[in-house]
Chain A
């Protein structure tokens, strides 16, 4: 069934596997034994497609799989339970299992069956199905790792040190399940394992529970800006009328929501593929121009918003495939360089295509309401609400959608996600497209507020960077709060100095954040 024939594998220059040949037949249990560093794990990783063999053949059911992308390997029916378990720590138990279930060709009844079966074998997991994987104890995590692998309905399961680091008395429970596996048509081949008393001590597993679970994410930071302006007598005593402060609060919130739309795309892209997208502002700019052109042709703002979002999302996907995919796994700094090059190209392209004069998009809502002595446009309020709606939709998508779970899994552990059959390269492209689309949407929304030139991109990039760093790199919620926070800061600063100088306030906020809370202002527990 699985045949390795004279396989040689290298990590860089060090030769790890020197001609490994193994044959595993259906229904067989094969163990690999050996001292540390002999290449047991590497053998399994080679089968899984995580390491490319430089010589020799790996075949599964007569099919060559050496060097095949690991999500394809997983789809062929090979499941991998890695040495260090690699649970998706921020996903719930149920979501961890879903990473293996949400594959094409699994009917609803089949899913329930699989889940029922696994919950029957590991009742603890059923109890904890809503709990984050990282809060489980070691033994529970091991169960989850095996259960997760079983979700793929594998024909063969590769267990790497399944009993490593467990209390001897806990060892038995996963073992029982593994012995049960072949009877169900599975075919476990396993890595080295420790000899342990195989007698079942299932109920004892509950002993592990009480061990302190780490603090959960989501606590609010005291520094978080409140929705309403902190108007105080002392401020107005400085000579600033309360109305101005209120107006600036609303302006800050509106700008903050647009910026949040840009920054959440940027942080998502960084979080999942370690790409610092220097061209993100350029996508905003392109979106605004595409929107302006569409409005020019059709006169419909909402249509323009849709067209720009989808056009730029498609463009982002192309960009990701052509320039960023080859850079995957290299230093994040190279991605800064590559995207910087892209930003130059896009900026000059916009100049060439749309000319140097600023364009103002026609706002779809011209009604105004009076805010103190000002006529305040409803459009701005609508913008903020719409931006919030888009971000909310993104949250729901990430939380409940099948693809959202894939995105979150790939964000936490790219390699393990792919080994669970998630097409990670596709996920990367889709995330980049989503980020690009959100950037374009904010460009169109921003269009009526100020003139659009090819230079607004650099400004958006810089602001989005600041926001993403202040909010904590790759932290979506943090970025959104930081966007509002920074925009409010700038809005208030603009009361005292000129708007051009108000930018410095956000620069200073960034530097202070980096010095004192380098993991971000809105991260619950800095490590």
Chain B
């Protein structure tokens, strides 16, 4: 047990080190690509709290992600000079508001009904953002300047590709540690109990609804965080990121990587994005045809995802 924990942390440090060195050795395009994988990985990880740990498939993570994005956009556009921390705070606040809303209504429902309700909620936000052109820029979205990396009173330097990568890496790594701690805490155990057998968890005396609400809130906040990072990296916010296809992609990350593992969804995001990158060279915009076929095949033949598949192979 001790040894495996040591191995785990060694592995964690090695991967962290590799990711930290990545921008120094990779060409420009791939630097941005690795940063993007980290951001989508964080989003996938946040939804794993619901899908993998609590057994609630959310088809509405685009709402949290998108609102984080638009919250950050608001902070960056309204306040001059643009402030990184204000963007974080406002983005998280926006995502939290949506999360409260979704958590309150959707957690009363289970299974497919939860999935459909979250999907419908994200579509409501999509329609509002898409049609409220004066405030959100409608179809064209918003573009803004990237804030400087600053600690008030200490220093302020503009982001470079490297520092942005390290900043994102730091945020994602810390988020991972927090989420890992949460899933191993008594709270996380209750979530897994709900996944395994909801009536029994209720019968033991846990207020299942309250736990679900907290889980949705938590998941929504981290998804919002991913949205903020994405806004900072790409300097724009667009309604496309609130559309439910993004939520679908997040579910794909989870299924491909392996649900209920936190690391799996990140691996799934990396796999998906690499697949998209590789295939779009041959299939251009039709890359989703092979990706969709691979995904469907994985749902049928590899329900444990890449990580579960690899683990079983290793154990053999």
A501 at the interface (CB under 8 A from B): yes
Q: Which chain B residues numbered 46 to 81 have a C-beta less than 8 Å away from chain A?
A: 57, 59
Cβ contact within 8 Å between A503 and B127: yes
Cβ contact within 8 Å between A465 and B292: no
Q: A276-B112, A352-B286, A514-B113 are in contact. Are A327 and B127 (CB under 8 A)?
A: no
| Distance in angstroms between the alpha carbons of A518 and B108 in the assembled complex | 10
| Distance in angstroms between the alpha carbons of A326 and B299 in the assembled complex | 10
B157 at the interface (CB under 8 A from A): no
Cβ contact within 8 Å between B109 and A352: no
Cβ contact within 8 Å between B299 and A338: yes
| Distance in angstroms between the alpha carbons of A293 and B131 in the assembled complex | 33
A341 at the interface (CB under 8 A from B): yes
| Distance in angstroms between the alpha carbons of A349 and B286 in the assembled complex | 7
A196 at the interface (CB under 8 A from B): no
Nearest B residue to A501 via CB reads B131
| Distance in angstroms between the alpha carbons of A165 and B59 in the assembled complex | 45
Cβ contact within 8 Å between A465 and B116: yes
Nearest B residue to A336 via CB reads B115
For B293, the chain A residues whose CB sits under 8 A away are 341, 345
For B296, the chain A residues whose CB sits under 8 A away are 323, 338, 341-342, 345
For B123, the chain A residues whose CB sits under 8 A away are 462, 503, 507
For A465, the chain B residues whose CB sits under 8 A away are 116, 119-120
Number of A-B residue pairs with CB-CB distance less than 8 Å in the complex they form? 108
For A336, the chain B residues whose CB sits under 8 A away are 57, 59, 112, 115
**Per-position contact with B for A501-513: 1 when CB-CB < 8 Å, else 0?**
1011001101100
| Distance in angstroms between the alpha carbons of A341 and B248 in the assembled complex | 9
| Distance in angstroms between the alpha carbons of A503 and B126 in the assembled complex | 11
For B117, the chain A residues whose CB sits under 8 A away are 510-511, 514
For B295, the chain A residues whose CB sits under 8 A away are 337, 341, 344
A515 at the interface (CB under 8 A from B): yes
**Per-position contact with B for A475-503: 1 when CB-CB < 8 Å, else 0?**
00000000000000000000000101101
A525 at the interface (CB under 8 A from B): no
B40 at the interface (CB under 8 A from A): no
Q: A341-B293, A342-B292, A500-B127 are in contact. Are A333 and B299 (CB under 8 A)?
A: no
Cβ contact within 8 Å between B113 and A469: yes
Nearest B residue to A347 via CB reads B288
Cβ contact within 8 Å between B292 and A333: no
Cβ contact within 8 Å between B285 and A511: no
| Distance in angstroms between the alpha carbons of A508 and B113 in the assembled complex | 14
For B116, the chain A residues whose CB sits under 8 A away are 465, 469, 510
A332 at the interface (CB under 8 A from B): yes
Q: A326-B300, A466-B120 are in contact. Are A337 and B292 (CB under 8 A)?
A: no
A348 at the interface (CB under 8 A from B): yes
B182 at the interface (CB under 8 A from A): no
B289 at the interface (CB under 8 A from A): yes
Cβ contact within 8 Å between B131 and A511: no
Cβ contact within 8 Å between A504 and B113: no
A351 at the interface (CB under 8 A from B): yes
Nearest B residue to A506 via CB reads B120
Partner of B292, one of A348, A351, A466: A348
A334 at the interface (CB under 8 A from B): yes
Q: A323-B300, A504-B124, A511-B105 are in contact. Are A333 and B112 (CB under 8 A)?
A: yes
Cβ contact within 8 Å between B127 and A501: yes
**Per-position contact with A for B87-118: 1 when CB-CB < 8 Å, else 0?**
00000000000000000010011011101110
Q: How many residues of A contact B (CB 8 A)?
A: 40
Q: A338-B300, A345-B296, A348-B289 are in contact. Are A514 and B109 (CB under 8 A)?
A: yes
Cβ contact within 8 Å between A351 and B285: yes
Q: Which chain A residues numbered 453 to 467 have a C-beta less than 8 Å away from chain B?
A: 458, 462, 465-466
- A101 to chain B: closest CB distance in Å? 36
Partner of B120, one of A327, A343, A510: A510
Q: Which chain B residues numbered 250 to 302 have a C-beta less than 8 Å away from chain A?
A: 251-252, 255, 285-289, 291-293, 295-296, 299-300
- A470 to chain B: closest CB distance in Å? 11
For A515, the chain B residues whose CB sits under 8 A away are 105, 108
| Distance in angstroms between the alpha carbons of A143 and B295 in the assembled complex | 49
For B127, the chain A residues whose CB sits under 8 A away are 500-501, 503-504, 507
For A342, the chain B residues whose CB sits under 8 A away are 292, 296
For B251, the chain A residues whose CB sits under 8 A away are 337, 340
Cβ contact within 8 Å between B288 and A498: no
Nearest A residue to B293 via CB reads A345
For A501, the chain B residues whose CB sits under 8 A away are 127, 131
B303 at the interface (CB under 8 A from A): yes
- B143 to chain A: closest CB distance in Å? 23
Cβ contact within 8 Å between A341 and B292: yes
Cβ contact within 8 Å between A340 and B112: no
Cβ contact within 8 Å between B115 and A333: yes
Cβ contact within 8 Å between A327 and B300: yes
- B96 to chain A: closest CB distance in Å? 20
Nearest A residue to B298 via CB reads A341
Nearest B residue to A270 via CB reads B112
Taking A341-B293, A518-B109 as known contacts, 17 extra A-B pairs with beta carbons closer than 8 A to each other, sorted by chain A number, are A333-B115, A334-B299, A336-B57, A336-B115, A337-B295, A338-B296, A347-B288, A348-B286, A351-B286, A469-B113, A473-B112, A500-B127, A503-B123, A507-B123, A515-B105, A515-B108, A518-B113
Q: Which residues of B come within 8 Å of A, CB atoms?
A: 57, 59, 105, 108-109, 111-113, 115-117, 119-121, 123-124, 127-128, 130-131, 244-245, 248, 251-252, 255, 285-289, 291-293, 295-296, 299-300, 303
20 CB < 8 A contacts A-B: A323-B296, A326-B300, A327-B299, A334-B303, A337-B295, A341-B293, A341-B295, A341-B299, A342-B296, A345-B289, A348-B292, A462-B123, A469-B113, A507-B120, A507-B123, A507-B124, A510-B117, A514-B109, A515-B108, A518-B109
Closest 5 A-B residue pairs measured CB to CB?
A: A341-B296, A345-B292, A344-B292, A341-B295, A348-B288
